[in-house]
Chain A
Amino acid sequence: MSDKVLMKGNEAIAEAAIRAGCRHYFGYPITPQTEVAAYMAKRMPKIGGVFLQAESEIAAINMVYGVAGTGRRVMTSSSSPGVSLKQEGISYIAGSDLPCLIVNVQRGGPGLGGIQPSQSDYFQATKGGGHGDYHLIVLAPSSVQEMADMTSKAFDLADKYRMPAMLLADGTIGQMMEPVKLAEPVEHPFVEKEWAVTGTKMQREHHIVNSLYLVPEQLEKKNFERYERYKKVEENEVIYESFMMDDAEYCVVAFGIAARVSKNAVVAARKEGIKVGLIRPVTLWPFPKKVLSETAEKVKGFLSVELSMGQMIEDVKLATSCRRPVGLCRRSGGMIPSPDEVLEAIKNMQRGEE
């Protein structure tokens, strides 16, 4: 590991991607993630990589689709309205079973919304987003350090399971500066993937990158095969953080920046004698269903803390089969709850229970 450096979250993503062997970046300017593109524009030409400002988010994701087909590490980044535009391409990439990284530094919505932090693209990120039966691996960093670490992790998981991965961040983590320890660059020589389009060299049958299956039996078979792979992801790749949960009677569930605020509230509640802990989903898909289900046997209630009108709460209810009440502490439109607001919600949950 190299020394700690002070970096913006967005820049940490870019540097971590380069160190993870990504040499192709395509993007389109949008606040609050433009630093990723600016960083790439500076660095890529110096290291023989490709930075290209696309004419639109749609073009950018289809450029990603092209590079992904050649088997090389490739990424794009954007923020909520831009990520909506990318959904067509993401669906095609998922349907063609190709790996890539999409970064969403979320801002408030719907529509043009605002430019302040939000988590209201949770549904879009975790339920598919585009048309058809598919999932993305979705990682939710809550610090600049995790912006870097999860970028690298996302590339590895995407390659391992031949599926697109998304880093679902928000404007706060994208914009704030924190010390970060960057991983040593991996030497990532181009390994020809057995499925990639690189030219037949007249030595093999042609490869086809495609998501079209006009025979329904074939398309269904493809989708079942894909979901077999998804099952493995769900079995093997769930990540979550458990905080002060050992003796907890109440469980706060929050991810990303909402989890950091919630941690402060949990510590404050503990000082007041409330036995509360936090489970922070780090992978939003696969969602940490098992630990939440087990926790439902131990706690009196859950509180979902979100920078949205309440989206992850549905997954908490599903994971716990509604065996315990699930409260909601929410801010929307670019607002972030204060630790006091979350503490108040924790107290409300406790009062409701008693």
Chain B
Amino acid sequence: MVVFEKPKSLTNAEFHYCPGCTHGIIHRLVAEAIDTLGIEGITIGVAPVGCAVMAYNYFACDMVEAAHGRAPAMATGIKRSLPDNIVFTYQGDGDLASIGMAETVHAATRNENITVIFVNNAIYGMTGGQMAPTSLPGQVTQTSPYGRDVTVAGYPVKVAELLSSLDGPEFIARVAVNNVKNVRTAKATIQKAFENQINKQGFSLVEVISSCPTNWGMTPENALRWVDEKMIPYYPLGVFKDKSAAKEEC
């Protein structure tokens, strides 16, 4: 009996991610959801600009590569053209919460029937560790060498909280992948975000707190600990908006 195998909706291409980076886990969770729901043949993924820029090589479904921050707009076009297909974006914090904030907010407020996987690791990884919109106050990065000074650079953007204040979106949740328990919750939440799309319920975003040992300057183990000690207290986990669940309660 096979108890553990590579998800079928991942290709055999080797990931380029750094050792200890949790993008690999998140890719796997997305692929497992696609496999479980049997939707690989109708799914179209939108890769971002950032660490996951080459995600189009890793997912076996049809893929497109968006301009920086524009994934939700591109996904909107694809979904409006092919409403019976499943469309997801996979974006980092710089892509989604900085340069692409307008596209994110408006896709959410339109309740565009897409699934957004938002990987928040509080740093620009691909370009070598600059301050992200989600970098924590005091966090040292290449462009905040003395720590993020909120009087100069402002405060981190809490995407899940921000988007859940809109009337439009169907489902907004934040999860983490730094321990087994959190990975299991993340898996179920990501799958729900795809199920919502299948059920035509609308915009579903899962913010995934991720680690970046390379650019945080930590060992993978310490990076996971930093997620627990620093990231999660600032970015609390949970479901921030679930319109269908709210309706059921009424």
Contact residues of A with B, CB < 8 Å?
A: 24, 26, 50, 52, 54-56, 58-60, 62-70, 72, 74, 88-89, 92, 96, 197-203, 206-212
Q: A62 — which chain B residues lie within 8 A by C-beta?
A: 66-67, 70, 73-74, 77, 103
Task: Say if the beta carbon of B151 comes within 8 Å of chain A.
Answer: no
Are B81 and A24 in contact, CB atoms less than 8 angstroms apart? yes
Cross-chain pairs A/B with CB under 8 angstroms, 14 sampled: A58-B73, A59-B76, A62-B77, A63-B77, A66-B46, A67-B77, A67-B80, A199-B62, A200-B40, A200-B61, A206-B11, A208-B57, A208-B62, A208-B64
Q: B77 — which chain A residues lie within 8 A by C-beta?
A: 24, 26, 62-70, 74
Which of A70, A96, A202, A206 meets B78, CB within 8 Å?
A70
Once A62-B67, A66-B81, A70-B82 are accepted as A-B contacts, the answer to whether A54 and B42 lie under 8 Å apart by CB is no
Once A55-B102, A59-B70, A70-B82 are accepted as A-B contacts, the answer to whether A198 and B62 lie under 8 Å apart by CB is yes
Chain B min CB distance to A76 (Å)? 10
Are A208 and B56 in contact, CB atoms less than 8 angstroms apart? yes
Task: Say if the beta carbon of B53 comes within 8 Å of chain A.
Answer: yes
Q: A206 — which chain B residues lie within 8 A by C-beta?
A: 11, 59-63
Chain B min CB distance to A278 (Å)? 41
Are A207 and B103 in contact, CB atoms less than 8 angstroms apart? no
Chain B min CB distance to A71 (Å)? 8
Q: A207 — which chain B residues lie within 8 A by C-beta?
A: 62-63
Once A197-B44, A199-B85, A202-B40 are accepted as A-B contacts, the answer to whether A67 and B67 lie under 8 Å apart by CB is no
Chain B min CB distance to A247 (Å)? 53
Q: B62 — which chain A residues lie within 8 A by C-beta?
A: 197-200, 206-208
Are B64 and A202 in contact, CB atoms less than 8 angstroms apart? no
Once A58-B70, A89-B70 are accepted as A-B contacts, the answer to whether A208 and B78 lie under 8 Å apart by CB is no
Which of B11, B53, B73, B82 meets A59, CB within 8 Å?
B73
Chain A min CB distance to B66 (Å)? 7
B67-90 toward A: CB 8 Å interface, digit per residue (1/0)? 100100111111111100100000
Are B81 and A70 in contact, CB atoms less than 8 angstroms apart? yes
Q: B56 — which chain A residues lie within 8 A by C-beta?
A: 208, 210
Are B41 and A63 in contact, CB atoms less than 8 angstroms apart? no
Which residues in chain B, 16-74, are within 8 Å of chain A measured between CB atoms? 40-44, 46, 53-54, 56-57, 59-67, 70, 73-74
Contact residues of B with A, CB < 8 Å?
A: 11, 40-44, 46, 53-54, 56-57, 59-67, 70, 73-82, 85, 102-103, 105-106
Are B61 and A66 in contact, CB atoms less than 8 angstroms apart? no
Are B42 and A66 in contact, CB atoms less than 8 angstroms apart? no
Chain B min CB distance to A248 (Å)? 47
Are A199 and B65 in contact, CB atoms less than 8 angstroms apart? no
Q: A96 — which chain B residues lie within 8 A by C-beta?
A: 65
Q: A203 — which chain B residues lie within 8 A by C-beta?
A: 41
Are B73 and A88 in contact, CB atoms less than 8 angstroms apart? no
Chain B min CB distance to A322 (Å)? 40
Q: A201 — which chain B residues lie within 8 A by C-beta?
A: 41-42
Are B63 and A89 in contact, CB atoms less than 8 angstroms apart? no
Are B75 and A199 in contact, CB atoms less than 8 angstroms apart? no
Bound CA span A62–B104, Å: 13
Closest-by-CB residue of A relative to B83 is: A50
Bound CA span A62–B69, Å: 10
Bound CA span A209–B56, Å: 9
Q: A68 — which chain B residues lie within 8 A by C-beta?
A: 77
Chain B min CB distance to A325 (Å)? 44
Closest-by-CB residue of A relative to B109 is: A55
Chain A min CB distance to B41 (Å)? 4
Are B76 and A63 in contact, CB atoms less than 8 angstroms apart? yes
Chain A min CB distance to B76 (Å)? 5
Bound CA span A62–B71, Å: 8
Chain B min CB distance to A24 (Å)? 6
> Known pairs A65-B77, A89-B67, A199-B85. 13 more at Cβ < 8 A?
A59-B73, A59-B76, A63-B73, A64-B77, A66-B80, A72-B81, A88-B67, A197-B44, A198-B62, A198-B82, A199-B43, A206-B60, A212-B54
Q: B102 — which chain A residues lie within 8 A by C-beta?
A: 55-56, 58-59
Once A54-B73, A59-B106, A202-B40 are accepted as A-B contacts, the answer to whether A210 and B78 lie under 8 Å apart by CB is no
Are A66 and B40 in contact, CB atoms less than 8 angstroms apart? no
Are A197 and B78 in contact, CB atoms less than 8 angstroms apart? yes
Chain A min CB distance to B220 (Å)? 26
Bound CA span A120–B42, Å: 44
